Every structure is written in C-alpha cells, then in structure tokens.
A and B are shown apart, each in its own frame.
Chain A
Amino acid sequence: MTSLTAPPMDLAPRLASTAIDDFAMPTGREEAWRFAPVDRLAGLLEPDGGSAAVVADPGPFISVVDFDPEDAGHWRPTDRGAVVAWAGARSAVQVRVPAETLVDEPIVVRLQAQGPRAHAHVDVRIGAHSRATVVVLNEGGSDVSGALVTEIGDGADLTMLSVIDGPRENVQMWHWPARVGRDARFTGSTITLGGSVVRNLPSVTYAGPGGAATLLGAFLADAGQYLEHRILVTHDQPHCTSSVVYKGALSGAGTHTVWVGDVVVRREAVATDTYEMNRNLLLDDGARADSVPNLELETGDVVSAGHASATGRFDDEQLFYLQARGIPEAVARQLVVRGFFVDVLSRVGSSQWRSIVLSRIADRLGMDPDFELDLEAAE
C-alpha cells in the first residue's frame, strides 16, 4: 500500500547549523511550528547566558563532561530551539558502549537540570556489534531543551526509552536524532506524560544499508497539556526498514496533542520497508488531537510503504461490556486506556521497563496500586 495524501512536505535536506542567526525566531506561521504555542515556548527560543547545565550521575558506561561542540556526535541543530540549546549547553552526558559488548542490565540515565532553565546534550554511542538498553529519564522540575544524539554502530542493537514525566508547569523541547549503522537495529520509544508544553522531535537516518528502526511512542495528555511529536525518518540507504507506532490518550478542556510523522524515501533507498501509524483516543470532548502522517516516495522500488492515522472517541460499548461484568466504571475506564497502550508498550524491548511505564500510566489514570499489582500478577 502506498498513499500520498498528505500536504506536500519540504523535501530539501534540512538546514543544519550551529549559528543562532541561521534560524529566525518562529512566529507560529511556519509549517514546523504551526501547531505549537510559540509564546509559551519563547523562553527556550531566546539565547540566555544564564541557562543551567543538565547532568546525570556517572555510572557504568555513563559520564558527564564539558560540552564540546567538536565532539558532540553526528548531528547539528536543525531549528531555533535546537540551536539555542546547543549554544547554551554546558555539559554533555555521554553514554559509551564499546564495540562488541553485550550489556544485559539497562543503562539508566537520570537527567538532572541544575537550574530552572537548562539545556541538555546527551550523546549515546553504541559500538559496532554491541547490544544495550538505555533508558533516559527526564522528570525534573525545570524548563529543558536539548538533544539526545544517538549513534548505533554497524551490526549493533540498541533499545532505548526516553521518559518525560514530572511536574506539569514545565516546558520541554527535545530533538532525538538517531543514526542507524549498517545492519544495525534501533528501537526508540518516547513515553511522554509530564510537562505543560512538550515538543519532541525524534528523527532517524541510516549510515549504511540493512538498518532497522522502530520508533514507538505513548503519550497521555490532560488538563490543558500540549504534547507534540514530530517524527522524521529519512531513508537514503537501500534495504532499510522503519516502523513508527505512536499512541496517545487525551482528556480535558484545552488539552492538545500533535503528531506529525514525515517519512521520506529517497531515490537511492531501494527495497525500503516502511510503515507509520498514529492512533489517538479521546477520553472526553474537551481535548483535541492533530495527526498528520506524510509519506514521500522518490522511488517506486520499495518492499512496502504505508501509513495510517486514526483518532477515535472512547468506546462506550467497551465500558458497558466491562461494567456488565461487575467492574466499576472507573476501573473499566482504566482497563480500556491501559489496554489501548499495551501493543505499543509490549514492543519497547525491556520487560522491566515495560512494567514500570505501565504502572506510571496506571498512576496517571488514578488506578489503585493493589489492583495494578493484581493485573501484573495475572498476566
């Protein structure tokens, strides 16, 4: 299945630069900013010499160094938010897994912002033929912008989970550029629960043929949160795959989520296999979800290319069915919402973190912890 229904996407390679003036202050009329409440993000779009560093506790494979633009990974800023964060970054949190290393335990990076407004640079490099799971937790009470730059070496296998949780008053803007090596595998999941305005920009490029990328996302928005995910997958190598699945549940007046999934398959990327999907569940009438999948094929020589997007209301028939079995309404609602996320979360790659994320979601839904434990036990 191929379809080309979305508005045309700008196919020119995106400008990448470390000069602030190369990116004008967004007005909100630009395609990339058209949904975002630019005024609420303004604090992270103007350079400010007083920004704090974002650090983490050092540990196996984790170190914190002074930010060095010369050794900051494969990526350079592609928008105003990114370039301001780059200019203001003081520290870099590095995760380095050497070549041919199998790391069994998840490498957990707990980001700590050292002030109310902070810029982060997290630089993850997984050596060739290594395998690791990296979890990046971002739940402090600060406004944070920055980049999580990920490089997966040839033949390596990285499972990565980025969790944004924590207080509701904070603004967060993240770029998450991943470069997937030859025959490498990358599963990158974003779990977005906290923040008042959150803008996440995961992107994937391939350094050689045969790479496989899976991008997963779960977001839960309520009480006026604005959560945006903009995904860009650029296929310019042959025989690579990408699979993007994002699910969101929303409720509350003024709550707004945005999902934009851009997938470009360049002329040289023959035998590409790509699929992207976003599903949103509206729990009440107050919330709004925008979902824009874009698939641009410059070659017809693909294995398959497809996209899907659907936003649906909470199904009262499901609720009735569960209640008719004696399950109280509140529990029934939680079961349905939790169930909605299960297929995404079952693929995040770490069973331990799958449970942790599920119980965070259960928490957010106000589920009784005993009940939650029972569910886990019964599974």
Chain B
Amino acid sequence: MSTLAINDLHASVLTDGGPREILRGVTLTVTSGSTHAVMGPNGSGKSTLAYVIAGHPKYVVTAGTITLDGVDVLAMTVDERARAGLFLAMQYPVEIPGVSVSNFLRTSATAARGEAPKLRTWMKEMKDAMGVLQMDPAFAERNVNEGFSGGEKKRHEILQLSLLKPKIAILDETDSGLDVDALRVVSEGFNAFREETGAGTLLITHYTRILRYIHPDYVHVFVDGRIVESGGPELASVLESEGYERFVGNAPVAS
C-alpha cells in the first residue's frame, strides 16, 4: 500500500522574465488501487503539477510538501523519485536520437529493479508487453520517440509503465492525439497494468472521453493552479455536459 500525499503545493515556472507562480495550493492524496482524474482547462497548470511531482528542473516549489509513503519526494533527484516508484507518462515525450527503444527500456528496467534483467526473459517480457499494446516488435529497434506518431508516443509511454511497474502512475493527457482505436488499446494496456499491480493513478486529462475506458474513483476539477472541486465519477458527467465555465467563473483569485 502506497500513498502519494501532496499538501498545499505552490510552485513557479522559471521563465526568462523571472519565476511565475502556476500552482497555488494543491492538496491531493493518491493511494494504491485508487484512480484520481484531474480535469481542467488548457493552461490551468495540470502538466505543471505532473512535472513538479516528477522533479522537472524548470519548476521551483515555493511552499508545501510532497511525500511518498511518508518520505520527502521534494528532496529526491528526478531519477530517485522514479526509482522510489513514481512514474510520469508525459504529454510530450522527448526524442532521443541514437538511443534505441530496446536499449532505453532495458536501461530503465535495470535502474528500476536494481539489476539488469536476464536477456532471455527480458526479450520475452518486452515482446509480451508490446503485444498487449499492439505494437510491432520492430518498434524496439527505433530510436526513442524519434519520428513516432502521436499514438506511437503514447503507446510507448504506457509500455514503459507496464515494464517499470511504479507504485503511483501519473498520466498526463495520455488520451490526446489518439484516435478511437488507439485510445481503446492504450486504455486496455493501462487497465491491465492497474489490475496487475494495484498501483495508484493520477489521470490528467482535458476531455472526458478517456474516462469511458479508464474509470476513475475520484474526479477533481483543476482551475488556475488548484483543485476547485472534487467528487466521484458523476462530476465527470457534469463537466461533459457543462464544460469548465462554471468552475472557471468561480476560481478563487490568486493572491
């Protein structure tokens, strides 16, 4: 049983014009086995929240805490956070020229597990995981994210998730750029991971359509750098029919 606890988190992005506050007091707890959907309009700070949890150097935390099973996440380096069991499936995965998917996956699995997986069993493990996501085995020979379509990038993120088996998964707009078929395949891949590991999930999305495939236990409306309303899955239906206007109008003004 793992718990990611975020408490009154304030964070700024470092820009050329100086720091600019984006997160204005986020409080949220994600435990194993539960899925939290965080939904909000463009630019509300959803990716910032994901990046700050993962430790992206572009952001600074100005107040608040993040702990994983009571351990201070903010004191860890990016790779320590990942090895502690946090995983961020990115909205915009980065190309890494000259590094093959198979190399990359094996290197990260080695880091996550503390030892290199045996080559034979590893090949099978990778092949099986790719099968679930309906990925061509030739994919493993391509360079990480280089020339990948939007759908391929997202499949590749979920592939990593299923191989690295984190305690807490953060999915940032995994549904964007996916057609209906790809969305179904990627969601099924994720659901298989969740069932197998019982991980906790923070599912960041702008649209409700992914929630037809990945059922959340909780839905949070995220506006202007904080959660303005929380509820059960029914809240997603409200957003579906009414959009964000009501919440945007009610957003507390930043100090």
Q: Which residues of A are in contact with B by a Cβ distance under 8 Å?
A: 315-318, 320-329, 331-332, 335-336, 338-343, 371, 374-375, 377-379
Contact = CB atoms under 8 A, between A and B. Distances in A.
26 contacts: A316-B57, A318-B95, A320-B56, A322-B104, A324-B79, A324-B90, A325-B79, A325-B107, A325-B111, A326-B79, A326-B164, A329-B77, A331-B111, A335-B96, A335-B103, A336-B96, A338-B98, A338-B99, A339-B143, A340-B98, A342-B98, A371-B110, A374-B106, A375-B103, A375-B107, A379-B103
Given A318-B94, A374-B116, A326 B56 contact: no
Nearest to A340: B98
A329 B111 CA distance: 11
Chain A interface mostly helix, strand, loop or mixed? helix
Contacts of B99: 335-336, 338-339, 342
A327 B119 contact: no
A323 B78 contact: yes
B111 A328 contact: yes
B143 A323 contact: no
A326 B54 CA distance: 11
B98 A328 contact: no
Nearest to A325: B108
A343 B78 contact: no
Given A339-B99, A339-B143, A327 B94 contact: no
Interface in B108-163: 108, 110-112, 116, 119, 143-144, 160
Interface residues of B, number: 36
Contacts of A374: 106-107, 110, 116
Given A326-B79, A331-B111, 20 more contacts: A320-B57, A320-B78, A321-B93, A324-B81, A324-B87, A324-B90, A325-B108, A325-B112, A327-B82, A328-B111, A331-B107, A332-B79, A335-B104, A338-B99, A339-B96, A339-B97, A340-B98, A342-B98, A374-B106, A374-B116
Interface string B54-80: 111100000000000000000001110
Contacts of B106: 374, 378
A327 B90 contact: no
B79 A323 contact: yes
Nearest to B82: A326
Interface of B: 54-57, 77-79, 81-83, 87-88, 90, 93-100, 102-104, 106-108, 110-112, 116, 119, 143-144, 160, 164
Given A328-B111, A331-B107, A378 B96 contact: no
Nearest to A343: B98
When A and B form their complex, which 7 residue pairs have the shortest distance between CB atoms, in order from nearest?
A339-B98, A342-B98, A326-B111, A325-B108, A326-B82, A323-B78, A339-B99
Given A317-B94, A325-B164, A326-B82, A379 B108 contact: no
Nearest to B100: A379
Contacts of B95: 318
B103 A378 contact: yes
A279 to B, nearest CB: 10
Given A374-B110, A375-B107, A379-B103, A340 B97 contact: yes
Nearest to A279: B97
Nearest to B163: A325
B145 to A, nearest CB: 8
Contact of B96 (A321, A331, A343, A371): A321
Contacts of A317: 94
A326 B90 contact: no
Contacts of B90: 321, 324
A324 B82 CA distance: 6
B111 A343 contact: no
A280 to B, nearest CB: 14
Interface centre among A323, A324, A328, A332 (most CB of B within 10 A): A324
Contacts of B97: 339-340, 342-343
A321 B94 contact: yes
B179 to A, nearest CB: 25
A339 B97 CA distance: 6
B141 to A, nearest CB: 9
A332 B111 CA distance: 11
A255 B69 CA distance: 46
A377 B110 CA distance: 14
Contacts of A316: 57
B129 to A, nearest CB: 15
A325 B96 contact: no
A27 B224 CA distance: 63
A359 to B, nearest CB: 14
Contacts of A377: 119
